Amino acid sequence: MRSFLFEALITLKDGILDPQGIATQKVLKRLNYSVYNVRFGKLVTFEVSAEDLETAKKVAKEITYRVLINPVLENYELKLVRESENG
Amino acid sequence: MRSFLFEALITLKDGILDPQGIATQKVLKRLNYSVYNVRFGKLVTFEVSAEDLETAKKVAKEITYRVLINPVLENYELKLVRESENG
C-alpha cells in the first residue's frame, strides 16, 4: 500500500453570500486597506492509503464530494501534494 | 492602480489539536475509507488595489498576519493568483 497526501481547496460558488468575507472586508476597510472581494473557503488536507494513484484519486474525490463539501453551495479543487511508500 | 488577486492558505501549526479534523476522520473511518491525518484549514481569497506588485505583496502579507490568521496557532502561505489592470 502507498500513501497519497491530498489537498482539497473548497470555495463558495459565485453568488453565494459570504458573511465572514463581508465582515472581514469591513474591518480591513476601517484599517484603511484597499482590499475587496474577500472570500473565505476551506482547505482540507488528508492522506489516503491505496494500491495506486488511480484508486487514491477515486477515493479522494468520493470523500470530498460525499463528506467534505456541500455540493449545493461549494466548489472544490483536489491537488495531490505527495505520494509516499508507507500507508 | 492595478488589481492583485491573492490566495492565503492558512493551516494549523503541527501539534495543534484539530477537533474538526478528528471528527471528520471518525466519520470517514465509519464509512470504511482508509484515510488519516485529516486536517482543516482556511482558504481566503482577496484582491488588493495597488500601484505595483511589491506594494501589493506587502499589503497582502500585512493583512494576512494582522487580520486573517492567529499567528500563535496558524501558519500561512500567500499565492498571487492573478494581476489585472482595473483596481
Residue A70, beta-bridge partner list: none
Residue-wise pLDDT for A49-70, tens only, equals: 999 999 999 999 999 999 999 9
Subunit contact A24:B66, Cβ cutoff 8 A: no
Report residue A25 CA to chain centroid gap.
21
Instruction: Determine the Cα–Cα distance for residues A59 and A49; give it in Å rounded to an integer.
Output: 9
Instruction: Determine the Cα–Cα distance for residues A3 and A53; give it in Å rounded to an integer.
Output: 9
B49 touching chain A per CB within 8 A: yes
Residue-wise pLDDT for B9-24, tens only, equals: 999 999 999 999 999 9
With cell 491537488, the residue in question is A79
Subunit contact A47:B36, Cβ cutoff 8 A: yes
A81 touching chain B per CB within 8 A: no
With cell 494500491, the residue in question is A51
Residues A56, A58, A61, A64, Cα dihedral to 10°: -60
Assess whether pLDDT exceeds 60 at residue B77.
Answer: yes
Within 8 A by CB and 6+ apart from A64, the residues are: A8, A10, A44, A76, A78
CB B7 within 8 A of CB B45: yes
Domain that residue A79 falls in: 2-84
Q: What is the pLDDT of residue A86?
A: 67
Return the CATH number at B20.
3.30.1280.10
Subunit contact B66:A39, Cβ cutoff 8 A: no
Q: What is the pLDDT of residue A66?
A: 95
Q: Which residue of B has its CA nearest to A37?
A: B46
- Look at chain A and count its residues: 87
Residue-wise pLDDT for A13-42, tens only, equals: 999 999 999 999 999 999 999 999 999 999
Instruction: Determine the Cα–Cα distance for residues A42 and B52; give it in Å rounded to an integer.
Output: 29
Overall average pLDDT of the A43-50 stretch:
96
> In this prediction, does ipTM exceed 0.85?
yes
Number of domains in chain B: 1
Q: What is the pLDDT of residue A85?
A: 86
